[in-house]
Amino acid sequence: MRKDLSLYIHIPFCESKCIYCNFVSSVETPDKQKQYEQCLLSEIKLRAKQYNPLYTIRTIYIGGGTPSCLTAGVIKRILSTIYLNFTVQNDAEITIEVNPNTITEEKVQEYIAAGVNRVSIGLQCAQGGLLKFLGRKHTYADFEKCVKLFRARNLNNISVDIILGLPKQSQDDVKTTVTNLIKLNIPHISAYMLSVEDETPLKEMVDNQQVFLPKEKETIKMYALTASLLKKAGYTRYEVSNFAKPGYKSKHNQVYWNRQDYLGLGLAAHSYIHPVRMANTDELDEYISFMEQNKIPLSDAEKISTEEAKEECVMLSLRTAQGLDTTAYANEFKENILQTKKAQIHKLIQLKLLKLTEDGFLQATDAGFMLLNRIILELVNS
């Protein structure tokens, strides 16, 4: 019987780099982008030879970088190549990440004709000054126009990314951003806490004290405010950063959190095919050279140990509202975590950061979701 598989396709190009971002993406010439497309199509065909006989594709996620900055026709060719070489389930969830200023009516039509049925729009925040400071190329009005363009073609499965804890961001800014999304009836919102990444202009500005981050207490307050506004508006927090109206949870992201199999194609894409983790090279010229020789462009592949699998299970499941299924954990790892981590779990329950449901799920409480790293450290390292 065929097993389930999800596909992640990486598009490593952007119109310009935002000051906080260290995702594998760069500004490249149209010729380089064309060369990459050829290589990506070759990788799809090459990897399908190995995986298509065994798997059915349930979700596809085209992420980046900025997939929507590609020229007309590329997304259509990528998806057609996938359909020709893999077995894709009829109602597969097919998501594309887009930046608001890059969307036109023609692109929306192309994506929908190619099978895209979910879109993830990077807004980050609703304030023009803050967007400029971050190096974003769009305004809030561009975002509203982008939502309208998708909805005009009946693509209503829309997710929006925002970031909390930005320099110069106030509680009122967060409230306005989230309230605007609620008013627009956006059915899925990902609210990420800012991470100051090495080798980004933001890191340098923070280190040089050119800009200041909100205090941790302020950032936690921004997250609590977001969670509370969204809860009141009928969204469920199904993962620490992800909120959805009924029927709009991301199937693709749940594959990651549930440690199910996914295959990443393209530059720097990661894969997990139980029990092996793989990573493609993150050097663009090396990726192109691999594919020109029709070789799988891997830079790393390792079988994960039981210890690593246990840690991943704790880390990923506690991020979700469902929490850690201690029965499933015992079945998979032949270990009763309620016994082996008894003292730590007891302490976290006393601190009201964790709770244990009647059917054996360990779940973060509202307070716990704000201190998840602490909970995970306690359970994984001691």
Ligand X SMILES: C[S@@+](CC[C@H](N)C(=O)[O-])C[C@H]1O[C@@H](n2cnc3c(N)ncnc32)[C@H](O)[C@@H]1O
CA distances from 347 to 244, 343, 382 (A): 31, 6, 12
124-130: long-range pairs with CB below 8 Å, 24+: 124/161, 124/162, 124/163, 124/166, 125/162, 125/163, 125/166, 125/169, 125/173, 125/174, 125/177, 126/173, 126/176, 126/177, 126/180, 127/169, 127/173, 127/176, 127/177, 129/168, 130/166, 130/168, 130/169, 130/173
Closest by CA position to 128, among listed 141, 109, 116, 119: 141
Q: Which is nearer to ligand SF4, 80 or 101 (CB)?
A: 101
Could you tell me how many residues of this chain bind ligand SF4 (CB under 6 A)?
A: 11
β pairing state of 262-265 and 88-98: unpaired
- Dihedral angle over CA of 96, 121, 6, 274, nearest 10: 140
Question: Does 242 sit near ligand X (CB under 6 A)?
Answer: no
Residue 195 binds which of ligand SF4, ligand X, none (CB < 5-8 A, kind-dependent): ligand X
Question: Does 197 sit near ligand X (CB under 6 A)?
Answer: yes
Of the residues 6, 59, 81, 99, which one makes contact with ligand SF4 according to CB under 6 A: 99
> CB of 191: closest distance to ligand SF4 in angstroms?
15
Q: Using the rule CB under 6 A, give the single segment among 31-39, 190-198, 308-316, 338-346 that binds ligand X.
A: 190-198
Residue 197 binds which of ligand SF4, ligand X, none (CB < 5-8 A, kind-dependent): ligand X
Which value, in Å, is the radius of gyration of the alpha carbons in the chain? 21
Q: Which is nearer to ligand X, 46 or 193 (CB)?
A: 193
Q: Using the rule CB under 6 A, give the single segment among 61-69, 83-91, 145-153, 201-209 that binds ligand SF4.
A: 61-69
Question: Does 163 sit near ligand X (CB under 6 A)?
Answer: yes
> CB of 367: closest distance to ligand X in angstroms?
22
65 preceded by cis ω (within 30°)?
yes
Question: Does 300 sit near ligand X (CB under 6 A)?
Answer: no
Question: Does 161 sit near ligand X (CB under 6 A)?
Answer: yes
Q: Using the rule CB under 6 A, give the single segment among 12-20, 33-41, 149-157, 196-204 that binds ligand SF4.
A: 12-20
Residues of this chain that interact with ligand X (CB under 6 A) are 20-21, 23, 63-64, 66, 97, 99, 122, 124, 161, 163, 192, 194-195, 197
